[in-house]
Amino acid sequence: MNDAKIDKIINFFSVNSPEESYQKLKKIAGELPLYLASPSPHAISAAVLIPIIYTHEPSILLTQRASHLRHHAGQISFPGGRIDQYDKDATACALRETEEEIGLTPEKINIIGNLGIWPSYSGYLITPVVGIIRPPFKVLPYEQEVEEVFEIPFSEAFELSNYQIINKSIPIPHHYYEMTYQNKRIWGFTAGILALLAAYLNAV
């Protein structure tokens, strides 16, 4: 069953153009609903990698940010960061940041596509890039930024009923998705993108 989910994700990018993929995901986002912040004129372009570990029990690789960081301390996220002037594109940024944060080199990652550009509540325009990783591989977290690297099984990450919507009214009304895995709270943009992919997999 989980192998079939990987095949569905790979097939999604192989049969659709980038624009078709994006429009289909936007439609699903509207049905969830997934909160989409209004892009700020000062929004920062960024990219993250959604690292899919391709085994008989596939999983998603996630990081927990170091607790001493000024921004997003302790939060769980995909590896990634802001796109800088030397990055050719979002994919180059996602691969560079992944290597810097967890020591996973680009040759270990097979990029299959991206989800388009999504605004975050924290003021970023983020492109999630999807990559397949086949064992063996080794991670070496950069301790100044990453406290822990861990995997969440497909069976947990892509079970839509595991997610709940949290409503907030301050500073403006908004909501976000949240789920818990082994005492780890996954929320915000990361949980929203995982819930979006879960909704897609449930629909096909």
What are the E-state strand segments in the chain? 44-53, 59-65, 76-77, 80-82, 109-114, 118-119, 124-133, 146-153, 164-168, 174-181, 184-187
**Which pLDDT value is given to residue 72?**
57
Beta-bridge mates of residue 126: 46, 118
**Which pLDDT value is given to residue 121?**
81
pTM over 0.95: no
Contact predicate 165/174, CB 8 Å:
no
Using CA atoms, how far apart are residues 193 and 136, in angstroms rounded to an integer?
Answer: 26
Contact predicate 83/93, CB 8 Å:
yes
**Which pLDDT value is given to residue 186?**
96
- When divided into structural domains, the chain yields a total of 1
Residue 199's domain is classified under what CATH number?
A: 3.90.79.10
**Paired tokens of 18:** 């980038």
Q: Which amino acid is at 75?
A: Q
* Chain segment 120-168, per-residue pLDDT in tens: 888 899 999 999 999 999 999 988 889 999 999 999 999 999 999 988 8
**Paired tokens of 163:** 């997610």
Q: Which residues of 22-51 are buried (b: 16+ CB within 10 A; e: fewer)?
A: bebbbebbeebebbebeeeeebeebbbbbb
Query: Domain range spanning residue 8?
Result: 2-203
**Which pLDDT value is given to residue 74?**
73
Interhelix angle 188-203/18-31, rounded to 10 degrees, is 100
Below-50 pLDDT ranges, the chain: none
Q: Residue for token digits 């999630």? A: 128
